A and B are shown apart, each in its own frame.
Chain A
Amino acid sequence: MTDDEDLIRALQAEHGDALFTHALRLCDGDRQRAEDLVQETLLRAWRHPEALDPERGSTRAWLFTTARRLAIDAWRRREARVGEVVTDSIPEPRPELSETDRAVEAWTIAEALDRLSPSHREVLIECFYRGRSVAEAAAVLGIPPGTVKSRTHYAVRALRLVLDEMGVTR
């Protein structure tokens, strides 16, 4: 085993599940493309280990951002190929452009969620995306309602900070 492989193993052990989940979101649930995306992201990390210097920010944030950039590149390449299709009809304005922008927005929010701690992400998923009340979320998560409230209080602040860092808000 080499240092290179140790780096990949360590990244996979610590961030593998989160990165694959993130990649799956970026690939609209396509597991094959998600695996390709994780592989390309980890290879980038291997080729540029200096990017993972803790002083330059969180490793997970770097991995997620890199995966998102690669996914956006791939999306734009696919879109360009679609755009190259020759037709006899007069070209129409391409509605996919705004679709891409919407996808990128969604990916950005997904990335922000993935950067949160699991307990913060969990209460946001339960209370916002699953539409559960504080009492319902408390029952599902097996914690007191007061804890659900305090977690959402801190989770929305953490989310706000991450979105600021990512340049979405501020």
Chain B
Amino acid sequence: MRSQPPGPPASPGPYAPGPCPYELDDGAYILGALSPAERAEYERHLATCPPCRDAIAQLAVLPGLLGRLDPQTAQRSVTAPPTLLPRVLAAVRAQRAAARRRRLLTTVAGVVAAVALALVVGIGVKLALPAGPAPLTYRPMSVGDNTVRVDAEIGIQEQSSGTMVSVRCLYHDQSDHTWQILLIVYPREEEAESIGSWVATGGQPVEVSAITRYSPDQIDRIELQTRNHTTIAWWSP
């Protein structure tokens, strides 16, 4: 709240401070809303009242500015359509999913590098991955080529913009041998894509998640392959 500044001491005469009886008429006057009789009266008053003249001088710019907006547009007032909020919320979710996907891909790249490094220096790793929207159920993958003995499980999670594929596997080979493993997604209609790779070594469990842009029902098969594209484990929905 703004308080009134203290006025000059009261003095008699036509310029006596205190509320001018015409004080509240200035808005209606500049907007052109006074009746002709009131308008004439107000203008006679203006000739004798400097505070009202000052007020009008301050406000005189307004009618010209208001006039730059056409009346039809000015009068338009509506309620927002009920479809608007769901639409904006959907856009927010889509943008958030895209941001999360970017973060996750960054994390997966880091994870894969960490696994590779850990395996190279011979440390067992258990990877904590970003929590997904629903609990993940793992199913066993079928064994492909028996030159590499692997127990592999796969978990599939639908995302707003694709599928998160989580794989955990253990290679039974007890030698110091290492393999480069590729995680390949075969969509029904399109070219296969590699969505991850890591280095595996015997006796060391590996847990990796990666994202493909295809939805679960677009996926025909997911495989673990060696670098020379021998299938060592596969899964089909």
Chain A contacts to B: CB under 8 angstroms? 2, 4-5, 8-9, 12, 16-17, 19-21, 24-25, 28-29, 31, 35, 38-39, 42-43, 46-47, 102, 105-106, 109-110, 113, 123-125, 127-135, 137, 146, 148-157, 159-160, 163, 168-169
Contacts and interface: CB of A to CB of B under 8 A. Distances in A.
Given A38-B84, A135-B35, A25 B68 contact: no
B147 interface: no
Given A21-B76, A25-B73, A43-B88, A149 B81 contact: no
Interface in B13-36: 23-28, 30-35
8 contacts: A8-B89, A12-B80, A12-B85, A38-B80, A106-B68, A113-B69, A113-B74, A129-B71
**What are the 5 A-B residue pairs with the smallest beta carbon separation, nearest first?**
A152-B27, A20-B80, A127-B33, A153-B27, A129-B71
A68 B13 CA distance: 51
Interface of B: 23-28, 30-35, 38, 58-59, 61-63, 65-66, 68-71, 73-81, 83-85, 87-89, 91-93, 95-96
A61 B83 CA distance: 24
B27 A155 contact: yes
Given A128-B31, A134-B35, A160 B26 contact: no
A133 B31 CA distance: 9
- Interface of chain B, helix or strand or loop or mixed? helix
A105 B80 CA distance: 24
- Interface of chain A, helix or strand or loop or mixed? helix
A156 B74 contact: no
Nearest to B66: A128
Contact of A20 (B38, B62, B81): B81
A144 to B, nearest CB: 12
Given A35-B87, A105-B68, A152-B28, A129 B35 contact: no
A129 B75 contact: yes
A8 B92 contact: yes
A129 B81 contact: no
Contacts of A42: 88
Contact of B80 (A17, A153, A159, A168): A17
Contacts of B35: 133-135
Given A20-B81, A124-B66, 10 more contacts: A4-B92, A5-B92, A8-B92, A21-B78, A24-B78, A35-B81, A132-B33, A133-B34, A157-B59, A160-B58
Contacts of A124: 31, 66
Contacts of B68: 102, 105-106, 109
A5 B76 contact: no
A72 to B, nearest CB: 15
Contacts of B63: 128
Contacts of B96: 2, 4
Contact of B32 (A2, A125, A131, A148): A131
B136 to A, nearest CB: 21
A150 to B, nearest CB: 5
Contact of A156 (B31, B79, B83, B84): B31
Contacts of B74: 25, 109-110, 113, 125, 129
